Every structure is written in structure tokens, then in C-alpha cells.
């Protein structure tokens, strides 16, 4: 399995994830939100599992999803970027 993020470049407050192997810009979290790109189904599945496990074990992270800036949404966006890179590498 490859590296999740090889470099992080911030431009005008927007985070871009760049794959150093092929120079392709990954879709940023801000772009995903602005364009309404749906979450990868794998991201949603992992988020639900982690949120349920966290809740059953003291709710340390208090995951929430569905609103702007919710930590669960942020986690799913990060997973979306991860899966986008994994799919490009395969």
C-alpha cells in the first residue's frame, strides 16, 4: 500500500493533496464540499463503524456528521481523499 499523502501544499487557505509519483492534484476537502461530491461508500462504512465503536466505548470523540464542520464529516472527507489516492494507484 502506498503513502496516503506525499505532500501537503496550502494555497489561499485550501489544502491540496499532491501525489508525488505522478504529480496529480488530489481533490481537496474544500472542493469536495463546494461541489457536493458524495462521500465514497467505503468512507461512510468506516465512519459509521468507528462512530459506533467510539459511542459504545465512552464516546471520546463524540462523532457527529451531517453539518458543516462536523468531525465525522471531516473524517469522511479525509477517507475520501485516501480512497481517491488508493484507487489511482491500483
Query: 22 vs 28, 32, 68, 74, 84, CA distance in Å?
Result: 17, 21, 32, 26, 14
Angle at 87 (CA atoms; ends 81, 89), nearest 5 degrees: 105
The string of pLDDT tens digits covering residues 5-21 is: 444 444 444 444 444 34
Buried b (16+ CB within 10 A) or exposed e, 55-75: eeeeeeeebebeeeeeebbeb
The string of pLDDT tens digits covering residues 25-38 is: 678 888 888 888 99
Q: Is the pTM of this model over 0.85?
A: no
* Structural domain boundaries in the chain: 7-89
Amino acid at each position: 500500500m502506498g503513502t496516503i499523502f506525499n505532500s501537503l501544499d496550502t494555497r489561499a487557505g485550501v489544502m491540496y493533496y499532491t501525489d508525488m509519483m505522478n504529480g496529480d492534484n488530489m481533490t481537496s476537502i474544500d472542493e469536495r464540499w463546494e461541489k457536493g461530491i458524495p462521500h465514497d461508500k467505503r468512507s461512510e462504512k468506516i465512519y459509521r463503524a468507528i462512530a459506533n465503536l467510539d459511542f459504545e466505548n465512552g464516546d471520546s470523540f463524540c462523532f457527529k456528521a451531517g453539518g458543516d464542520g462536523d468531525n465525522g464529516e471531516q473524517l469522511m472527507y479525509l477517507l475520501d481523499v485516501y480512497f481517491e489516492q488508493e484507487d489511482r494507484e491500483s
